[in-house]
Structures are given as structure tokens and as C-alpha cells.
Chains A and B, each alone.
Chain A
Amino acid sequence: MEKNTSESKEGILGWAKFKGKGVGYFGFTFQRVSGVVILFYLYLHYTVLSNLLHGQATYNSIVQSITYGPYDLFIVFDILLALVIFYHGANGIRLALNEMGIGLKHNKAFFVIFESISMVLLLLFLYYAWLFVAA
């Protein structure tokens, strides 16, 4: 008999199917996605920094352009980046605690508490960042 190889393995695409799944599933997928986003930003950051090689003026003009225009749309991405970092960090602390055996029995509650705290911190951060940029 011919071996029938078709499988119902979902692979990575299956990570995005949240319907009917628990909160841990969402947490897991977004930890991955946010990790990738942060990594991308890190390289972008290096790229921007590397402009210092072309002198102070060049670097300043780039920073100027993405903060006050004409490319100030970039601030939206910065806000998203902050969101992702705060999410990733809080969930990461929860997982680290889990691995040490802390909070295992109340996993969902831990997820909600950690993410709530991190979102409050995010708002604070954004407020002060706004004050800084606006000044």
C-alpha cells in the first residue's frame, strides 16, 4: 500500500488560531511575534546609530526627521514598539516565575495582573515621552 503522507500538522500558521483556545495560547503567540518585532527594531536601531560614522550633522538630521518631520509618522511605530516591549517584558517575567514554580496554579490571573501592570506602566511612559518630545 502506498503510504499516505498528508498530515494535519498545522505548523507555525496554527499559532495564529485563537478561536476556542485559552489565554495562554494568545500569550504564547504574541510572545513570539513581539520577540521578532523587537529583534527587527534592534537592527533598525543599529542602522540608525551607524549613521554617526557620517558625522554628527547627518545623525542629528535623521533623528530630527523622524521625530519632528517630515517622517514623524515614525512616532506611531515607536509607540507600537513600546507596547510590544512592555507586553513582552511582563509576559517574560511571568514565564520566568513559572519556570521557578511560582504562580503555576494561578496562571491566567498572573497573566492578567502582569499585563495590566505593564500597560499602566506603558501609559506612564508614553505620557513622559510625550512631555519630552513636545518640549
Chain B
Amino acid sequence: MQIIKEDVLILGGGMAGLRAAVAAAEYNKNISVGLVSKLYPLRSHSVSAEGGTSAVLSPKDNFDLHSYDTIKGSDYLADQDAVEKFVRLVPEQIYTTDHWGCPWSRNPDGTISQRDFGGLSYPRATFAADKTGFHVMQTLFSRALKYDNIHIYNEYFATSLIVENNSFNAITTINLKNSEYTVFQGKSLIFAAGGAGRLYQFSTYAHSVSGDGDAIAYRAGLPLKDLEFIQFHPTGLVPSGILITEAARSEGGYLLNNEGKRFMEKYAATKLEKAPRDIVSRAIMWEIEAGRGVKGKYGDTVYVNLDLRHMADILEEKLPMITDIAKRFNGIDPAEELIPVRPATHYTMGGIHVNNDTETPVQGIYGAGENVCISIHGANRLGSNSTNECLAFGNLAGVKAAEYAMSHSMPSLNNDKAKAEETRLWDDLMKRDGGENVAKIREDLRISMDANVGVFRTEDGINNGIRNIKALQERFKKITIGDKSKVFNLELEWALEVGFMLDLAEVIAKGAVLRKESRGGHYRKDYPERDDANFLKHTMATYSTEGPKFTYIPVTITKWKPAPRVY
């Protein structure tokens, strides 16, 4: 067992993690910051973010408008005080990253340019072509290189969180390079490990997004909030699921069914293709269910078409990446052909419960980004509201964790728990020998989640999903990790991830069956209306050995009373 000590620990090297690392390092040069990631930071899924990030920069725009858009988009489940705080934090982050070298797309006069995005009442999506996440990540990574007190631990896979006396103690990890069990001790910890989208088969997510952060926190007793809200992005490229940015529609792209007709006016009469993601995703699924989906080159997969042919002249400048992706992966030229798309999991609105100051209920543990739920996204995140969240709250979490580290001493390691985890890994998990293949369990889980807890949900379907999860959890007890290697054991990594995913799937499905209403990304065919009387509240799931225990907390409403959500 190796022990590494850092003042501030950050789990996850994506946008929120890197932003937090820089913020903590800048807060005080004497604080040592340890950034622990199961990847190299630049391999994090944040680099895949494409379209843009909302910020109030123009004098014609204002904070209330951004707040309102966010809250309406969230189907009124967002905490409004959090949203109001959030929108005010964002502009400075845009300018800060600009000073650090982020190539935000510009107007001819050299100022930052903005464009329209789904569900916005003012075109405030700031962007770096359609590689926004990529460029922001490069910028933050480059900035992190500047600080000697940031220590990046590449490829350490976190397996558990140790909490003692309701305060942070340590995280346990495996160094993938040599399978050494490594414990990171710190004064404070920031969760920034991303979402859980790879619980589903058809997904825009990178393969690595398996909900590790959520699951680790959940198992250590931290409550997970609103996890049943999963965002489906309307335009995942068939068959790979690669994201075709929302900007494709906000710049003027059409969605066509198998009759070659636009269909969005039936579902969002004014906003059409520019409606928020949950609405467009459902519209596509309704079309497919009504038999108006396209079936062609891609086996049994039914999809709709995205038409960009009428905007061929702006593809190169405004949408270079998706043009390249369509050509490279599908052999399709968007200037001349239709792009096959269908809804794919894209965002996890829920996550570890944190307050408006990014604090979890456990002392010394903070969180930012998709890993946590503040909640500013409520039941449906508005497109262009994720990268800015990572920047704004990543920065805040970094400062808060650094403040905490300055005023507290290093806790002494809870050796019993650390030893117990080591035993679990090497003497339990690695020595299981029931012949089950983790990859097969993962595949069955994903297929079941797609079918039962997807865009459309019903009581029977979800219950079916829960039964499947239970069966899979039993099978997981009988896995055999075929690779006994001590060096970069990918099979062990998969096994740990599948273990996490099974826990989270249970939380998602059980939360979904209890929420007998339709709101944002959670659509129940058996309860198609929003029910503010009974369900204007956040779901909180806490770990127990028998499965998640659910409680509810109220939603904070300030200026905007819940109203029907029409686009």
C-alpha cells in the first residue's frame, strides 16, 4: 500500500477538475493540489463538448433572461437561487479562459462572438467553432502546467472514498500502470469525475464515462440527487452515437422523417428544431414509434435524418468538426447527403448532492461539474449550460476546497477502512470465479437500460428494468476476471466500473419508478403530465445494504413560479 498526501485532492481531470485545480493552486501557492484521474486529463470526456457555452456578455442580454431560460429548460426543477448565482459567475470565467488562451470564436472586430442554441431567448452561446470543450480543455490543461503546486496523477483508478466522523479522510485508488494499491490522503476533496452516461448502449459519451464518482460517493454514504433525470441528445450519429452538435440545428438544420418531411412543428410549434433537447428527443421517438422513422443502411436501427444541405456554405466555418466526423465515420458529405441521427444519452442531470457553495453534506468534500447536482439543470439541462457550469463551479469548488485546506490539518488515515478496501479488491473481486464475463453483464445492463429506462418510461418497463438489474447484480457476484495481470489490467478496470454502474442503474430505475409524473428528461407514458403538487421536489437517494433509500427535499423558487413549458 502506497500513501500519497496532498492538501487538496481532486478526483477527475476533466473541465471541472482542471478548473478547480487551477483555482486551488492560484488561491495559495503553498497549497499542494493533487489531481487524480483514471485517464490522462486531456482524455476526459469534456474534450468532446462541441456547440457552445452560455454567458451573458452582451448589454442587450441580462442575467434574469439567462436564469429564466435555464429554469424553464429545467422544467422548474432547478433551484432558482443556485441558477441566479450561476449565471452571474459565468461571464468572468469566459474572459478568464480567454486571457489564458482559449480561442473563443470572434466577431470581425475582435470581440467574442455568440450564437443561438436550443431553448435560448437570446443568442448567448459562446463557442470555439464546434470544438468548444476541446479548446477549453486545452486551455485549462496548459494553465495547469504553469503551476508547480499542481501534481497530476495520471491513470489512478479510484475505487472508494473513506469518510470518518462525517469528514473527508482519503480516497483509495489503483495505479493502473503497476496495479499498486494507492491511498490518497488530503485535507479536502473535490468530486469532478463526470456523469454516468455509459449506463446506456446508445450514447454520445466517451467510453470512460461510467459514473465512478457518483458511485464512490454513494457507497460512502453521500446522497445522490435527481439521478433519474438522464438527458437524451436528439442527434447522436447512427450507428456510433457520436454527437452531432445542437449547433447543427440552431444554425438552421432540419430534422426529416421517412417521408422527407419536417416534423417538429407538431411538437414545438414556435421553436421547431431549436426546442430544448428533451422535447426534440421525444419528438424523434414519437415519429419512430409512429412508423415514420427511417430504416436503411444501419441494420435494425431506426432513425431520422438531419438535413444540413441548405447550409452547405457555412459548414466549413461554423461546423467543421461534425462535417469531418460525418465524412470520416459514415462516409457522408453533409453538404450533399442526409445525416442519420437518433436520441442518445448525453448528460446526467443528477449527481452528488451539493449546496450552492459546492459543499456536500460531508465536511471537506466538495464537487463540481456533471458529477454533482446543485441543482441548476433540474429535470433537463439546456444545451450550452454544461461547460460554463464546469468553469463557474469548478472555480468555486477549487477556492472553497483550498480555503478549507488552509484552516484544517491533515486527518490521520483510517487504516482499517483502507485495508478493508485493499482486501475487497485483491481477495474478493480478483478471486471471484463464477465464470461470468463482465463485458456481457455490462452489455445486458445497457440494453436493458435503453429499453426500460430510456426516453419513454412506464411503470412496467421500469420494474422490468429493476428486475434485470437485480439479476445482473447477482451475476456480478459470480464474475471471473480473466486477466490476472499486475500491469495495466483493463479487465479489472471494467469490472470495477460495472460494479459502479449496477449501483447507479438501481438508483436511476428506482428513482424513476417513484416519480409518477413527466418532467424534463424523465417522461412517463403512464403519467404524461407534470405534477407540481406532488413532485416539485428533488429525489435524494442514500446507500444502504438493501438498496437505495429515498427521501425528498424541496425545490427553491425565487422569482419564477412554475408555469406550463411551451416552446
Query: A residues within 8 Å of B by Cβ?
Result: 1, 4
Q: List 5 A-B contacts (CB under 8 A).
A: A1-B178, A1-B180, A1-B486, A1-B487, A4-B487
> Given the complex of chains A and B, what is the CA–CA distance between A79 and B217 in angstroms?
76
Q: How many A-B residue pairs have CB under 8 A?
A: 5
Which residues from chain B contact A1 at a C-beta distance below 8 Å?
178, 180, 486-487
**Residues 471-489 (chain B) with a chain A CB within 8 angstroms:** 486-487
Q: Which residues of A contact B180 (CB under 8 A)?
A: 1
Q: CA separation between A1 and B178, bound complex, in Å? A: 7
Chain B residue at minimal CB-CB distance from A1: B178
- Distance in angstroms between the alpha carbons of A1 and B487 in the assembled complex: 9
C-alpha gap A132/B178 in the complex (Å): 71
Q: How far is the CA of A1 from the CA of B2 in the complex (A)?
A: 13
Q: Shortest CB–CB separation between residue B178 and chain A, in angstroms?
A: 4
Chain B residues within 8 Å of chain A by Cβ, number:
4
A4 vs B361: C-alpha distance in the bound complex, in angstroms? 44
Interface string of B172-184 (1 = CB under 8 A from A): 0000001010000
Q: In the complex, A1 Cα to B485 Cα: how many Å?
A: 12
Residue of chain A at shortest CB distance from B179:
A1
Rounded to whole Å, the gap between the CB of A56 and the closest CB of chain B is: 69
Q: Which residue of A is nearest B180, CB measured?
A: A1
CB distance from A8 to the nearest CB of B (A): 16
B residues near A4, Cβ cutoff 8 Å: 487
CA distance A36 to B216 in the complex (A): 62
Tell me, in angstroms, the Cα distance from A18 to B248 when the chains sit together.
42
Q: In the docked arrangement, what's the CA distance between A121 and B487, Å?
A: 59
Distance in Å: Cβ of B381 to nearest Cβ of chain A = 43
Interchain CA distance A4-B178 in the complex, whole Å? 11
Q: Per-position contact with A for B51-93: 1 when CB-CB < 8 Å, else 0? A: 0000000000000000000000000000000000000000000
Min distance, Cβ B156 to any Cβ of chain A, angstroms:
15
Instruction: Name the residue in B178, B180, B486 with the highest tally of chain A Cβ atoms < 10 Å from its Cβ.
Output: B178
4 shortest A-B CB distances, which residue pairs?
A1-B178, A1-B486, A1-B180, A1-B487
Residue of A with least CB distance to B486: A1
From A3, which residue of chain B is reached at the shortest CB distance?
A: B178
State the CA gap A4–B485 with chains docked (Å): 14
Task: Tell me the minimal C-beta distance from B487 to chain A in angstroms.
Answer: 8
Give the CA-CA distance A54 to B161 in the complex, in Å: 88
With the chains together, A1 CA to B180 CA distance in Å? Answer: 9
Q: Shortest distance in angstroms between A3's beta carbon and chain B's nearest beta carbon?
A: 9
CA distance A71 to B490 in the complex (A): 66
Report how far A4 CA is from B486 CA in the complex, Å. 13
A107 to chain B, nearest CB (A): 24
Could you give, for residues 311-351 of chain B, a 1 whenever the CB lies within 8 Å of some chain A CB and a 0 otherwise?
A: 00000000000000000000000000000000000000000
The smallest beta-carbon distance between A133 and chain B, in angstroms, is: 59
CB distance from B179 to the nearest CB of A (A): 8
How near does chain A come to B251, taking the closest CB pair, in angstroms? 31
Chain A residue at minimum C-beta to C-beta distance from B177: A1
| Residues of chain B in range 426-455 having any CB-CB distance to chain A below 8 Å | none
Report the minimal beta-carbon distance from A5 to chain B, rounded to whole angstroms.
Answer: 14
What residues of A have a CB within 8 angstroms of the CB of B178 in the complex? 1
Query: How far apart sit A4 and B487, CA to CA, in the bound complex (Å)?
Result: 10
- In the complex formed, the residue of B with least CB distance to A2 is B178
The CA-CA distance from A100 to B487 in the complex, in Å, is 47
B137 to chain A, nearest CB (A): 29
